[in-house]
């Protein structure tokens, strides 16, 4: 599933490839994929036809393909979405919902599960998306995250998936970051100590940067704009590793459903109780031994 590193990998390639290319024709646009767009499918067709790409940006997990005609094609890949730029002679895959003819090449959106989105956006792009801070930006820090989590009673795992707080983290990297920071996913977000949140903020950045260096995680559907898988799936520590040995302590990785999403964690490296309570329990245990 495309999260920040996967979308950024696609963005980098498209931003290097698309500018100055003109949309000759909108060959195909599935109206059912147009969601929460200020303009309808027909208007999107009109605005794209004849327009030239200027640059490709990312906001959270959204891609914004800016056009010469003052506006941008807004795309979200959902769960199973693929955005590929390929030679027009390459046969189109099943579930292709958008085809832009660029001359010798086509930009194609393929999305079997249809969780993705096609929309039009006008500047300032950020207004309608309600996105929180980008975890790879300079604005993101332990202090900022601590303030965002203050007073929140939801599980930290659920909070990390809230795009209005931090934009770009999905189920894989939420689990990986919590493991790296040694924080149990069910801990109450607003109860984390400042030290824990500092650790978590650093873990989020590290996990995302490492994945980006591996060109993303290809767990099920993800491929980049050239159709190539990433390699970060070989470096995951908890996601998809239920009942496998923790790489740190050899305990078995557990899976629990939190907020309707599966969470993977090491029960030993990520204790359920906050640090102070854990310390008291340990002290209590010592007293008990005496």
Partner DNA sequence: ACCACATCCTGTTAGC
Partner DNA sequence: TGCTAACAGGATGTGG
Query: Which positions make up the binding site for DNA?
Result: 95, 113, 152
Nearer to DNA, 126 or 262 (CB): 262
Helices (H), 39-187: 41-48, 126-129, 142-149, 156-161, 171-180
- 37-45, 47-55, 76-84, 200-208 -> range binding DNA (CB under 7 A): 76-84
Q: In sequence order, which residues have a C-beta less than 8 Å from that of residue 136 and are 6 or more positions away?
A: 4, 8, 168, 205, 208, 209
Under rule CB under 7 A, which residues in 119-148 are in contact with DNA? 129-130
Q: In whole angstroms, how close is the CB of 171 to DNA at the nearest point?
A: 4
Q: Select which of 11, 47, 58, 61 is catalytic.
A: 61
82-87 and 25-29 beta bridge pairing: unpaired
Nearer to DNA, 61 or 82 (CB): 61
61 is catalytic: yes
Among 5, 78, 216, 230, contact with DNA (rule: CB under 7 A)? 78
Among 41, 142, 229, 259, contact with DNA (rule: CB under 7 A)? 259
Neighbours of 264 (CB within 10 A): 24
Q: Buried (b) or exposed (e) across 210-229, using 16+ Cβ within 10 A?
A: ebbebbbbbbebbbbbeeee
Among 114, 214, 247, 268, contact with DNA (rule: CB under 7 A)? 114
Residue 3 near DNA by CB under 7 A: yes
Q: How far apart are alpha carbons 24 and 35 in whole angstroms?
A: 24
Instruction: Go through the chain and tell me how many residues it has.
Output: 290
176 is catalytic: no
Residue 72 near DNA by CB under 7 A: no
Q: In whole angstroms, how close is the CB of 261 to DNA at the nearest point?
A: 5
Closest CA to 25 of 51, 56, 43: 51
Q: How far apart are alpha carbons 175 and 203 in whole angstroms?
A: 11
What are the backbone dihedrals phi and psi of residue 85, each rounded to the nearest 5 degrees, phi first?
Answer: -110, 110
185 is catalytic: no
Q: Total number of residues binding DNA (CB under 7 A)?
A: 37
Which residues are catalytic, by number? 2-3, 61, 261
Provide the binding-site residues for DNA, judged by CB under 7 A. 1, 3, 32, 36, 60-61, 76, 78-80, 94-95, 112-115, 129-130, 151-155, 158-159, 161, 163, 170-172, 189-190, 257, 259-262
């Amino acid at each position: 599933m495309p999260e920040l590193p996967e979308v950024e990998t696609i963005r980098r390639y498209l931003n290097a490839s698309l500018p100055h290319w003109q949309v000759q024709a909108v060959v195909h646009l599935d109206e059912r994929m147009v969601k929460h767009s200020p303009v309808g499918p027909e208007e999107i067709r009109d605005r794209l036809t004849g327009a030239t790409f200027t640059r490709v940006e990312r906001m959270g997990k959204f891609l914004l393909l800016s056009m010469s005609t003052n506006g941008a094609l807004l795309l979200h890949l959902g769960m199973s979405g693929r955005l590929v730029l390929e030679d027009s002679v390459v046969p189109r895959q099943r579930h292709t919902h958008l085809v832009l003819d660029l001359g010798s090449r086509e930009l194609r959106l393929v999305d079997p599960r249809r969780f993705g989105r096609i929309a039009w956006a006008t500047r300032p792009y950020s207004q309608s998306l309600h996105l929180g801070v980008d975890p790879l930006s300079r604005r993101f820090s332990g202090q900022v995250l601590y303030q965002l989590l203050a007073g929140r009673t939801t599980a930290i795992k659920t909070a990390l998936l809230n795009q209005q707080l931090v934009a770009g983290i999905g189920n894989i990297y939420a689990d990986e970051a919590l493991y790296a920071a040694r924080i149990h996913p069910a801990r109450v977000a607003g109860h984390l100590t400042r030290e824990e949140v500092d650790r978590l903020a650093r873990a989020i950045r590290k996990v995302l940067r490492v994945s980006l260096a591996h060109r993303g995680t290809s767990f099920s559907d993800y491929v980049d704009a050239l159709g190539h898988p990433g390699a970060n799936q070989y470096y995951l520590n908890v996601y998809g590793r239920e009942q496998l040995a923790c790489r740190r302590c050899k305990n078995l990785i557990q899976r629990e459903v939190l907020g309707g999403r599966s969470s993977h964690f090491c029960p030993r490296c990520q204790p359920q109780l906050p640090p102070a309570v854990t310390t008291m329990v340990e002290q209590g245990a010592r007293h008990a031994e005496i």
